[in-house]
Structure 1
Amino acid sequence: MGKSVNKLDKNTLYIFLVVAVLFAALAFVWNSPMQIWQGSRVILTNPSNLITDYFEIANVGAAFMNVALMLFQAIFVVKVSKAPMTGMIVTAIFTVIGFSFFGKNLYNSTSIIIGVYLSFKFSKTPFDWVPIALFGTALGPLVSVVSFGFSLPTIIGIVLGNLVGIVAGFFIPILSQHFVKFHQGFSLYNIGFTAGMIASFFMAIFQSFGLKVTPVYLVSKGHNLTMSLFLILFFGFVFFLGWSLNDFSMKGFSLLLKQSGRGGSDYFSDFDRGIVLMNMSLLGWISMAYVLAVGGELNGPSIGGIFTVFGFGAVGKHLKNVLPILIGVFIVGHFSVHDVSSTAAILAALFGTTLAPISGYYGPVYGVLAGGIFIMFTTNSLAQLHAGMNLYNNGFAGGFVAAVMAPILEKSVNGTPKEKKKSAFD
């Protein structure tokens, strides 16, 4: 473990490039070039706030093409920045892939990335700006809403939208460094919490000027068969690649399961690459299985959630700390007013795994408790604070849940001495 040869290198970018080409090619399996073009125009000019399924407002082909374009953009940012490939960057890229099925697109993400970069250039304290920029595109709908949601003249809307995006992006790194202390690393989606605060701030400004932003719920149905096949094959390929890199064995995998995940542990730095790839694949399969088991739909948002969990298999998540969260969300959802098969409840389950470190640090019982509390909290009125302009609403909610649970558990439950010694938050 931790060998320098296991660090990600430039070949990883070539792998992502192949994946981008794959998504672009798959677009033409579902739709014609004209349909993809027309659908892409709809995607680029839609407010895109939660929950806007690109399968529903456009078509499957256009959504896959949007994923490909966003992946090309992410590759470009990493390449130009010359940033070393880490588990966090891999996770950020797969999160971009996931949310490009609903909410993120080439138009609304660019100005935010520019804003984060400008913050880096003007900062007196150097920081790794690339993953923050990629995660920061959670505020994409903020740009799209200002550009296309307020009935402003086209040019004025575009100029103001991108200006807002640059300003929001500029402050993401500054605020995120402080907010991580709020939840003590027990929520993996720290940028989601930060983006929620920023989006809520802008929402307050909009309301003061009588500008209304209405959350939407546009989701599609009927894609389970084809999307199941796609996901099974994709995760299967990644698992086989990891298995082969690990000498066709699961040796060392049990050691990864002992990690708490607190603070976003970079598994690529501590474990052989093959072990991490297998972990990611298993999380992808489990996430997909959960959606199908509860009778849900494999649409844009749920696939986005699956790819996000898959990506965080490189940073902080594994089967042992994720499953209790899923169980907790399901139990409370099943015995309450929530429809566990609805896309909203499924997103709560998948993204609720942001609290996996609670399960990993304090044990599965508290993970189940965290999942149960989470679905009650995230499906309440929290999204109204930002009207869906923060795509990581569950990360926003997860930050609050972790902030409440962490000090209580700290006083009532003892974490293992080993983990406490390793943690930078203690």
Structure 2
Amino acid sequence: MRTTLNHEQNFAVSNLSDRAIYCLLLVFAGLLFGFAFLFNTPQEIWKGSLTILSSPANLVTDYFALANVGAALVNASLMTLKSLLLIRINKVRLSGPLLAAIITVAGFSLFGKNLYNSIPIIAGVMLYAKLTRSPFKDYLLAALFGSALGPLVSEITFNIGLPLPLGILGGCLAGILVGLLLPPMASHFKSFHKGFSLYNIGFTAGIIGMTFIALFRSFGSDVHTVQILSSGNNVFFSIFLFSLFSSMFVLGFFFNHRSFKGYLTFLDEDGIGGPDYLSKYGLGLTLINMGLLGNTATGYCLLVGGELNGPVIGGIFTVTGFGAFGKHIRNVSPILVGVLLVGLLTSADLGSTNLLLTALFGTTLAPISGHYGALAGIIAGGFHMAMVTNISYLHAGMNLYNNGFSGGFIAAAIVPLLEVFHFHKKERKNQSAISKNIMEEAPSKTSSPEQLAVFDDMD
């Protein structure tokens, strides 16, 4: 009877949490939509939205600059609502990974994702579920995160010289093919980095994008990354972001019974494989963590003199979203420090959008610092900065999760080395403990004859 009661209470609390998250995400989408009209008129937003839907979107295409701020915010709002609708239709409970996916999709809808280039990929994942006779809800994460390859759909449709009807057909077929490939490949590649890179779909998308670009280049159609960036919006977005994340923090405090109880335990999580913080710790602590991460990421960008443009805000949203799925202040900070140190040593422009994206998205490697310590995280962050600036050529910006692609390689390369050091350190510690125990158990000068006789027998 008591077990049944507890189960019913937990179910009620879970339902309450689910409704609260839906409400918060709807408010978030509403804010994005409403603030759009502070920047542009309805006519400008409509025209900008058509530009977003009908343009190439490879890295780095800031929708603030390509169209206008209002159109980009409306696009992010609609993509958030689409994600929520997809989850609702499939009757899936909101989890930490899904919360991270929704907020990540919203962020990337400011620089690369849109309704047109994301839908064929989702359709491809649906087709994969149909062919394997599996529930689509099992692949929702692949469908949402998989829109990282949206620029591939836009590129084929609008930028390789095909007549528009043929371009639409080719782009949609490519998106469906991507959706078919993502679920099995993502499952396979988890073993490559062993969960030490949180953006597993980003790594998978990088492999797929690299393959498509190789085919393009073999037929003489070269694709290049771009730099379409905006500036001058720091004042508004500083106020907006700090207010948003501080509100999340305060709400989390109240949901956690007006306390921070349990957060120190939360910070002991290493983050490997992306633990679901929402189910493990509840909505309160998860919102506290997300709010802290959002404010930290925003503060870092402003501190180094960066611009709060579409891509950078997208990076901040992603860090925040993964506060429900593997990241927290303790395992993220060393990665940021590592990128910052290498940037200072190489005299790089720390405030440039590329370096800000490297720092923000480089936190995909947070499990390394969570498991092996802060120094390992700093080293991983430094290596990541060196790698990510040279890897985008392989997929030509078709994979929006470029840092996830780089992070997978860094994790695969550095984790075996760290494991060796970690193993030997552990062995030395064990040997030291054994030696200490032997010394403590050894007979002292004042031992009685009976005690000495026992040790003689043991010898």
Q: TM-score normalised to the size of structure 1?
A: 0.95
For 2:121, the equivalent position in structure 1 comes to 112
Which structure 1 residue ranges, 4+ long, deviate > 6 Å from structure 2? none
Conserved 8 A contact 1:326-1:368: yes
Which of 61, 69, 73 pairs up with 1:60? 69
CA distance in 2, matches of 1:415, 1:52: 46
CA distance in 1, matches of 2:190, 2:293: 25
For 1:35, the equivalent position in structure 2 comes to 44
Conserved 8 A contact 1:92-1:135: yes
For 2:330, the equivalent position in structure 1 comes to 320
Q: CA deviation at 1:337?
A: 4.7
- What is the DSSP-based 3-state SS (H/G/I as helix, E as strand, rest coil) of the residue aligned with 2:18? coil
Conserved 8 A contact 1:83-1:130: no
Higher Cα Rg, which structure: 2
Following superposition of structure 1 onto structure 2, how do residues 357-396 of structure 1 map, counting pairs within 5 Å? 357-380=367-390, 382-396=391-405
Following superposition of structure 1 onto structure 2, how do residues 219-238 of structure 1 map, counting pairs within 5 Å? 219-238=229-248
Which of 96, 101, 107 pairs up with 1:92? 101
- Does 2:237 align with 1:257? no
Which of 333, 349, 355 pairs up with 1:345? 355
Of 169-178 and 6-15, the range deviating more from structure 2: 6-15
- What is the DSSP-based 3-state SS (H/G/I as helix, E as strand, rest coil) of the residue aligned with 2:112? coil
CA distance in 1, matches of 2:95, 2:128: 21
Distance 1:28 1:372, change over 3 A: same
CA distance in 2, matches of 1:299, 1:415: 46
Q: TM-score normalised to the size of structure 2?
A: 0.88
Percent identity over the alignment is: 50
For 2:188, the equivalent position in structure 1 comes to 178
Which of 401, 404, 416 pairs up with 2:413? 404
Following superposition of structure 1 onto structure 2, how do residues 118-267 of structure 1 map, counting pairs within 5 Å? 118-123=127-132, 128-267=138-277
CA distance in 1, matches of 2:331, 2:89: 35
The runs of 5 or more residues in structure 2 that have no matched partner are 1-6, 427-459
The runs of 5 or more residues in structure 1 that have no matched partner are 418-426
Q: CA deviation at 1:125?
A: 6.0
- What is the DSSP-based 3-state SS (H/G/I as helix, E as strand, rest coil) of the residue aligned with 2:223? coil
* Count of equivalent residues: 415
CA distance in 2, matches of 1:297, 1:20: 23
Conserved 8 A contact 1:361-1:415: no
Q: Which amino acid aligns with 2:131?
A: F
Q: Deviation per CA, 1:199-234: give whole Å up to 9, x if none.
A: 011111111211121210111111111100010111
Q: Deviation per CA, 1:107-135: give whole Å up to 9, x if none.
A: 10000011111112222566721111100
For 2:442, the equivalent position in structure 1 comes to none
- What is the DSSP-based 3-state SS (H/G/I as helix, E as strand, rest coil) of the residue aligned with 1:221? coil
CA distance in 2, matches of 1:219, 1:313: 27
Identify, as 1 or 2, the structure richer in helix. Answer: 2
Q: Deviation per CA, 1:10-41: give whole Å up to 9, x if none.
A: 44323322322221111111100011011111
Q: Deviation per CA, 1:155-179: give whole Å up to 9, x if none.
A: 1001100110000011100100010
Q: Deviation per CA, 1:42-64: give whole Å up to 9, x if none.
A: 11111110000011111110110
Computed over aligned residues only, the root mean square deviation of the Cα atoms, in angstroms, reads 1.6
CA distance in 1, matches of 2:397, 2:210: 10
For 1:421, the equivalent position in structure 2 comes to none
Q: Which amino acid aligns with 1:207?
A: R
Conserved 8 A contact 1:325-1:367: yes
Relative contact order (C-alpha < 8 Å, sep 6+): which is higher? 1
CA distance in 2, matches of 1:313, 1:416: 30
Q: Which amino acid aligns with 1:169?
A: G
